[in-house]
Structures are given as C-alpha cells and as structure tokens.
Amino acid sequence: MVERLRLADAGLWERAEPVLRSRLSPKTLDHYRRGYAARVLPTLGGLALGDLAVGDVERAMASWAAEGAGPSTVRQARLALSAVLNVAVRDGLLRANPARDARRPVGDLAARRARRVGQTLTPSQVRALVATIRRVAGDPYATMADLAAGSGLRYGELAALRCGDVDTAAGTLHVRQAVTEVTRDDGPVPAGRTRDGSLVWGAPKGGRQRVTVIPAHLRTVLASMVDGRRSHELVFVSVRSGEVPRPIRRNTFARATRWTETVRGLGYPGFRIHDLRACFITNSLAAGVPPHVVREMAGHHDLTVTNGYARAHDDALTRAAKQLDVWFKTA
C-alpha cells in the first residue's frame, strides 16, 4: 500500500510536479522544489505516508524555525508539502492532507503582523531613498527605485519593461510582461512562458496585463531613456563588454545599490525592494485615489489583497488626530 511507503520513497514530488508546474509561476515552483528537498524530506521523509499527522507537520515547522529558518522559508516548505499532499489526496493515495490543517509557529504569525508596521515610506522618504541610491549607484538604479515606488511595479515587471510599454504623453505604463529568475531547470514551462537560461519570461503575476501611472517627475526622464530606441528594447539594461543587453537582475540591483546598508542607514532597517510596491499602494490611497482604481493599477484581482499592502505611515495617527479635531470643532 502507498500509505505504508515512507514519504521519501513514495515519489510524490515526481507525481505532483507536472501538476504544480502547470499551475504555479516558475519562481513559486522553484521555492517549493527547494523547500521540499531541503526541509521536508530531511525532516519527514522517514515517516510512513499513512502515519503523517498534523502534529508531525507542526513539529517539523517548529524545528525548522529553531534551526534558524526564517518565517518565509518555513512557510514555503509547509506550502510545498501541502501542495504535494493535495495531489496525493486527489489521486486517491491519501485520505487527508495533514499539512493543510497545520498551524504556523507563533513567531511566523508575529513576524507577518510586524511586517505591516513601519514598512512603507512617505513620498518625502522615498525621495530621500532615491537620492541616496543615485549617490551610491547612479542611474538606472535610482530611476528603477523611483518608478517602483511611483507606479507599483513588481521587480520582475520593472526588469521586463520595454520601451514600447512607456507612454509618456499619456503618463502611463503598459504592464505586459514579467521576468523571473529561477535556478536552472530543464523542465517545460507553462504555455505563454519562455525560458532563457535561468530567466523565465511571461505574463505578469495572475496572468493580467494592466495600465498604471508614470509619476509626473519621471515622465521627462523616461522619455529621454526610450527616445530613439526600438519598442522591443528593455528600458533598464545591464550591458557587459561583448554581451547583448540583459535585464537587471534583482541581485544585481541589490548589490549595486547596497540595498541593505542603504535602507538601514536611512533608518528603514528591514525595508525590502518589494516594499516599494507597498509605498505606491499606501501613498495612492492616502492621496485619495479610489481603492478600486488602486487595485487595478496594482494588478490585483481582489481588493482585500490591495488592502493587505496598505500600511499606515508613522505619522498617520497624528494626522488622523488633527483631522478629527477639525471635524469635532466644525461639526
């Protein structure tokens, strides 16, 4: 019986991978593959499938955290196990998926709640960050950071932006494509995606193209960057001697800008590149842009996802108190 096989010997990943490959982005699949191999199998691989219980999964998660794995690493490993077991349940190999009911460690939940506090910047703070990046790394890195915070692009969308996507006359960007970096993998990619070494090109997350804004102060800058270039050329490129222009990879951006040191020096420790997108969403809402419009510009299917990105600025309570004071005095 399959249920008596050890998890490590049951071949569940091999069975599940074609299904997951058709449903997940290459980056997510890569996270799952690495989490399953590096965390799940060493910890739970010796257990019989039929004996695997919710408690086993929760103890495994606690052990990963105790070994120093961060909340994101623990979560990705659990999701990888759950995805694999879901396929086993649907194939009739298991009766239930114990990973689905496993509760995350308290530290994981606390860390996710903490990420909503202080992880967004006001427009003036964004300007300070961009100015620092310009001193540290110059352009195009400063413009990339400025555009991410002012247009809400994910990094993969920013790296894949082409000259033909930029409409400075209308002040808009057409988000048509994203590029993802994954570990080398010879397996097929889903329809609509193409592979170039460790880079996978395809539609933006969720499969939706969209239109977002170009901040007014960047329209002239972008116009000068795309003027005279072909529509298919990348806006932001990394060019090495003797090589064709390539997209600027996230790690290259982080190294060039000395990201960790830069944000720490400005007083924003832990601020991530992806948090620039949260700045756009938070500042758009604070400026009074209707939530459904912000949702469309961000490329979200559901407004609850957009709300999940919105975080109060440090001065939000002070501003709220002033607004209430005016209201109470005049109402």
Closest CA to 116 of 318, 322, 310, 323: 310
Q: Give the CATH fold of the 123-279 domain.
A: hpI Integrase; Chain A (1.10.443)
Closest CA to 248 of 145, 166, 121, 128: 145
- CA angle at 52 for the pair 48 and 58, rounded to the nearest 5°: 140
Of 77 and 186, the structure prediction assigns the larger pLDDT to 77
Q: Is CATH 1.10.150.130 correct for 2-114?
A: yes
Alpha-carbon span 204 to 31, nearest angstrom: 18
What predicted TM-score, i.e. pTM, was given to this entire model? 0.78
Alpha-carbon span 227 to 247, nearest angstrom: 19
pLDDT in tens, 82-135: 999 998 898 888 889 999 989 877 665 555 555 554 478 999 999 999 999 999
Alpha-carbon span 204 to 276, nearest angstrom: 17
Of 22 and 125, the structure prediction assigns the larger pLDDT to 125
Where in the chain do CATH 1.10.443.10 domains reside? 123-279
Q: Is the pLDDT of residue 38 over 90?
A: yes
Alpha-carbon span 136 to 72, nearest angstrom: 29
pLDDT at 118: 46
pLDDT in tens, 230-278: 999 999 998 764 567 789 999 999 999 999 999 999 999 989 999 999 9
Where in the chain do CATH 1.10.150.130 domains reside? 2-114
pLDDT at 309: 81
